[in-house]
Structure 1
Amino acid sequence: MAIARVDFIAGMAKGLAVLESFDTQRQRLNATLAAERAGLTRAAARRHLLTLAHLGYLETDGSWFWLAPKVLRFSGSYLASSRLPRAIQPTLNRLAGPTGESFSAVVLDGDHVVIVARSGSAQLAYGLHLGARLPAHATSTGRVLLAAKPRSEFSAWLKGRELPRLTGHTTTEPRAFRALIEQVRQQDWCVASEEHELGVHALAVPLRDMDGRTVAALNVVSTRQRLDARALHKEFLPVLQEAARELRALL
C-alpha cells in the first residue's frame, strides 16, 4: 500500500526493521549487528533496541538483545482475528488424520512464505511450525503463489533478485526459475523436491476465493523415506485439489 510521505512515520519503520532483524540464523543481536541488518547507524539501532527492550518486546543482558515472549502478541492477534487460518484449519486437520502427513496453508510475504495454518501431524519435523518463514523461491507454496502473480509483477519480483542455493537441487538461475514458474502457472500445482531441505518433498496447489483470486497455497510435506516426489504427486494431488475446491466458498 502506497501512502503520502507526510503520513509515513520513519521512526516506526526503523523500529520494525530492527525487530525483523531477529531470525533463526541470528537469534541474538548487538547494536552493530542490528544496524547492519536493519540498514541503520549503530547509534540509531542501539536506541531502537533499548526502546524495544523497555517496552518488553526484547530481552537483554546489557550488550546482546533477543526476542521476548511479548512479540507473540502480534501473531496471536492475527491468528485469532484473521478469517483465513480459522477457515482452513478444520480441513487441514481432516486431511492429516488418515494420512499421517503434514499439511499447511501458506501466504506470500515478500521474499518468503509464511505458514498461517498447519495440521498437528506428528510427522511435521522440518521446522515447519506455525509462523515459520521459508524462502519463496525454493518451496512448492512459494512457487504456486509467485505463479499467481501477473507476469509483469512476477518479472518485477525476480528482477535483480539473488536466489540463494539452499541445497544442491535448488533452482537459482533466473531464466530456469522463470521457466519453472511458467510451468507452475500452466499446470496449477507445484512439486518441490529437496530444494529447500534434503530429504523433503512438498506438493502445493493454490487456494482461491470466489472471485478467483489466489489468497494462499495449500501443501503437503513428506520425507524421502515415506514417499518420493512421484508418489507424493500421484497420491495427494487429487486430495489437495478437492480440498481447494471445497475451501473456495469459505475464502
Structure 2
Amino acid sequence: MSSLENDKDYVLSLEKGIAVIKIFNQVNQKLTLTETAELLNMTRATARRFLKTLQVLGYLETDSKYFWLSPKILELSSAYYNSNPFAKMAQHYVKKISILTQETCTISILQNDSALCIAMHEIPRIMNVNIKVGDQLPLWLTANGRVLLAHTSSEKMCNILKNIDYKKYTECTVSDEQSLIQKLKQTKEHGYCIVNQEYEKSLVSLAVPLKNNHGEVIASIGITGADSRFNDFEISRNLEVMFKIAEEFKNINF
C-alpha cells in the first residue's frame, strides 16, 4: 500500500473515478464494462459502480453495452480555463504566433515528468502535427519539454533524468543522458531549443521559455513543422517573433 493510500485525507475512490474518465481517449473511444475493468485492473463490480455514477452525473453516455464520454465532460476543462487567466491568455498567444510564423503553435507547462499542452493553434498542412490540448509529451524529446526541463531545479531535473528510457523514435533521437544534459545546457544558454526530427521523422520543433514578471519560467511556447521549412533564415525569423511575444508576455500580471 502506498503512502498516499495510508493518508486519511486522500480519497482513493476519487482517484479511481478520475482514472475511469482518463481511460477514454482516441484509441478507447467506447468501452464495455469488462474492458474498463481490465484496463484499470478493477473488478467488474467496482468498474460498474464508477461507470454508473459517471453516467448518472452526465459525464458518460451508454447504449447498455458500451460507455463513452458525453459533451458534459467539457465542463471540467472549461472550469480550468475560466478560473485561470494564464490559460485564457495562452490561446491568444498561440494563435498570434501561429499566424505570424505560419506554423502550428503550442504552449506547454511542466506536469510531473511530461510537457502538458494547454493551448494550441494549428495551421492546416499536407502533413499535420499530431498534438492536441491535453496531450502529455516527453520532456526530454520535445522542444517545449526541453525548455521546461532546462529551467527546472537541479533536484527535479536529476529525478526526471534517471527515469528516462532512451527509446529510439528516429535515427536522430538523443540516446544517452550526457548528450541530453549537453542539449539542456545549450537550451538554457541560448534561450531557445530546437529539436530536429528526434521525436518524429521530418518534423522540427522550436521553443522558447515564457516567464512571468518575476522572471520565473512558467511555460514554454513552441512551433512545429516540416523540416523543409526550418532553414537557418526561417529559424532566425521565427525566433525573432517568438522572443518578441515572450517579452510581451513577461509584462503581464497573473
**TM-score, with structure 2 as normaliser:** 0.83
In the TM superposition, structure 1's runs of 4+ consecutive aligned residues that sit over 4 Å from their partners are: none
| Cross-structure match for 1:235 | 237
Shift, 1:35, TM fit: 4.1
C-alpha distance in 2 between matches for 1:111 and 1:38: 21
Shift, 1:109, TM fit: 1.9
C-alpha distance in 1 between matches for 2:59 and 2:51: 9
Shift, 1:42, TM fit: 4.7
| Cross-structure match for 1:119 | 121
C-alpha distance in 1 between matches for 2:115 and 2:149: 10
C-alpha distance in 1 between matches for 2:31 and 2:108: 28
Contact 1:88/1:247 (<8 A) preserved: no
C-alpha distance in 1 between matches for 2:131 and 2:122: 11
| Pairwise CA RMSD | 2.8
1:209 aligns with 2:212: yes
1:21 aligns with 2:23: yes
C-alpha distance in 2 between matches for 1:137 and 1:28: 32
**TM-score, with structure 1 as normaliser:** 0.84
| Cross-structure match for 1:148 | 151
Cα deviation, 1:31-62, whole Å, max 9, x if unaligned, reads 45434544544543343233223322223344
After TM superposition, the structure 1 stretch with the greater mean CA deviation from structure 2, 209-218 or 181-190, is: 181-190
CA 1:112–1:121: 2 relative to 1, 3 Å: same
Contact 1:203/1:232 (<8 A) preserved: no
Q: How many percent of aligned residue pairs carry the same amino acid?
A: 29
Shift, 1:76, TM fit: 1.7
| Cross-structure match for 1:93 | 95
CA 1:62–1:181: 2 relative to 1, 3 Å: farther
Q: How many pairs align?
A: 249
Contact 2:110/2:116 (<8 A) preserved: yes
CA 1:6–1:154: 2 relative to 1, 3 Å: same
1:162 counterpart SS class: coil
| 1:1-251 paired onto structure 2 within 5 Å | 5-119=7-121, 121-123=123-125, 125-228=128-231, 230-250=232-252, 251=254
Instruction: List runs of 5+ in structure 1 lacking aligned partners.
Output: none
